[in-house]
Structure 1
Amino acid sequence: MATEGRQRTPSDADRPWSHEQAVVGDVRLHYVAAGDEADPLVVLLHGFPEFWYSWREQIPALADAGFRVVAPDMRGYNRSEKPHGLDSYRMEALVGDVVNLIDHLGREEAAVVGHDWGGAVAWETAIRRPERVSRLAVLNAPHPERFRDELKRNPEQWRRSWYMLWFQMPAIPETLLGARNAFGVGRLLRESSNPGTFDDEDLRRYREAAARPGALGSAINYYRALLRQNLVEEVRRLVGGGERQRRLRVPTLLIWGEEDVALGTELTEGMNEYVSDVRVERFPGASHWVQNDRPERVNDLLVEFCEG
């Protein structure tokens, strides 16, 4: 299905945003900012294999609606610092980046919006530091407990998630995806999206970001660190030393493109068991890249939700 009203993306010079850098905790992050500095803060977290540019349609819409919008390159991506070692990509570090960025911007809390891996970090930030998240919006990323429960009972989700196991191999994934100026990244985006979701300029920019030294290895380390951490947590649960994450009470919006090749729509069901205040919006025909497939509708939902 074609995307709605997509036009060729203007250059950064034509957009109402600025490029900034900040040292947050132990890492230097690059981010794009728009809107008045006094306006309520919205933090946008991108996924794999993206960077801040995945929010190119949402940044101006939210800024025009009266929000201060900040979209970082998450650690390891694009222009942000790329620390070494798997421990640098544990969830504690990723959540810390969000909290420290909110601190750097002089705020007590923010509305946090995340897609894909950014959605996973957004979920965990709201679960672990709910006092810092005023509202949570997640696009095509499952609640972590909901995802674990689905994997335990649904072999089809394991089939869909095969790439997470492939990413555990040392060096090979980043070598194959990064060859020929990150040709594999462009192919991944093209094959997992709807026709027209990404034009040639979009794919060029994603490939350019992924081809930066160390970027692909850092991005794939998110998956490696997550699997190692989840294995440890599951062992703790089996021996009686671990507990389920508590029910989230932050107001939550879950947006889902139903044609996601990696994540089944079943992951949007039964959410009231995990979140006390949740709204689910599903988009038939939209792919995993829902904010690019349906930018106008997603923008309307995010503005309405962040306004409360």
Structure 2
Amino acid sequence: MRVRQVRRGRLVLDVRDEGPVDGETMLLLHGFPQDGSCWGAVVPALHAEGLRTLAPDQRGYSPGARPPRRGAYRLEWLVDDALAVLDAAGVEQAHVVGHDWGGGVAWAAAALHPERVASLTAVSTPHPRALARAMANPGQALRTSYVGLFQLPRLPEALLERRLVTLLTGSGLPAASAEHYAGRMREPGALRAALNWYRALPLTRLRPPGDVAVPTTYLWGSADPALRRGAARRTGDHVGAAYRFVELTAGHWLPETEPDEVAGAILDQVAAAAGQGPG
């Protein structure tokens, strides 16, 4: 059975369910300000290997799932949304892939619900505790200072409404993708909802998620403007299972700019996890 929408109380998440319905399942989680289409150039290689892909437009990005209050975007609710997508598809365990904020959800899901995660591929996003340690470096703190700006009411919306395309292309995102995501952010309530992921950080009960014990690949671009090498280097310290670090000469937007490398890393992780057997 294909899953097109998932209901979470009054919220409705849109899902791209593609590939062989009886294949092993990949749960693909996007970041800010993307949507599930960010994986569009990655999934053909996964489907060719017999894998099913579930790529939701996450809470705040689906038009039917944009509650206005920041408390609705706590990380624990975002993890529950991801698991609800698996439940709706009848999938007990999936290979989880996350980019940017989706990587944060993926790390938390692997830490809290390892029985649901066959393997983890984190794209760009280091383990949250590695990033927290790296924040002691002024260079890393400066590069992520926008997180503090996003805590303010209304001002971030006013700035991004005018400059989002310029900021995205300036950070290395291809123009067509930047225009698409900016168009989605112009939908009613969308930009506020996306920013509420950041504004909910002080409210989350996960501070930050703990170490993971599932097979993990971390894919990082050495030219990422927001995430420096320190956090990337420390991420393996928080994985208590088979771990692989893949460094690319690329920036932040790896699903859009390096889809072949992302797909290859995912397929290698799936194959490695299968070779290890259960547990």
Normalised TM-score (structure 2): 0.91
1:265 deviates by: 1.6
Percentage identity across paired residues of the two chains = 35
Letter in 2 for 1:226: L
Structure 1's consecutive aligned runs of 4 or more residues displaced over 2 angstroms after TM superposition are 24-27, 201-204, 227-230, 244-247, 270-273
Change (3 A) 1:213 1:81: same
**2:221 maps to which of 257, 272, 292:** 257
Change (3 A) 1:149 1:25: farther
Name the larger-Rg structure: 1
Q: Is the partner of 2:156 in helix, strand or coil?
A: helix
* Residue equivalent to 1:167: 150
**1:77 maps to which of 26, 42, 61:** 61
Q: Is the partner of 2:7 in helix, strand or coil?
A: strand
Partners of 1:138 and 1:255 within 8 A in 2: yes
* Residue equivalent to 2:275: none
Change (3 A) 1:84 1:251: same
Change (3 A) 1:31 1:245: closer
Partners of 1:52 and 1:72 within 8 A in 2: yes
**2:20 maps to which of 18, 21, 36:** 36
Partners of 1:73 and 1:80 within 8 A in 2: no
The question of 1:295 aligning with 2:259 is answered: yes
Letter in 2 for 1:202: S
Q: Is the partner of 2:219 in helix, strand or coil?
A: strand
Inter-partner Cα distance in structure 2 for 1:192 and 1:198: 9
The question of 1:222 aligning with 2:197 is answered: yes
* Residue equivalent to 1:281: 246
1:304 deviates by: 2.0
Inter-partner Cα distance in structure 1 for 2:180 and 2:236: 38
Q: Number of residues paired by the alignment?
A: 270
Change (3 A) 1:202 1:246: closer
Letter in 2 for 1:255: L
Change (3 A) 1:203 1:149: closer
The two structures, once aligned, show a CA RMSD in angstroms of 1.9
Change (3 A) 1:225 1:272: same
Q: Which runs of 5+ in 1 are unaligned?
A: 1-17, 234-243
Inter-partner Cα distance in structure 2 for 1:60 and 1:79: 26
Inter-partner Cα distance in structure 2 for 1:80 and 1:258: 36
1:245 deviates by: 5.0
1:203 deviates by: 2.7
Q: Which runs of 5+ in 2 are unaligned?
A: 273-279
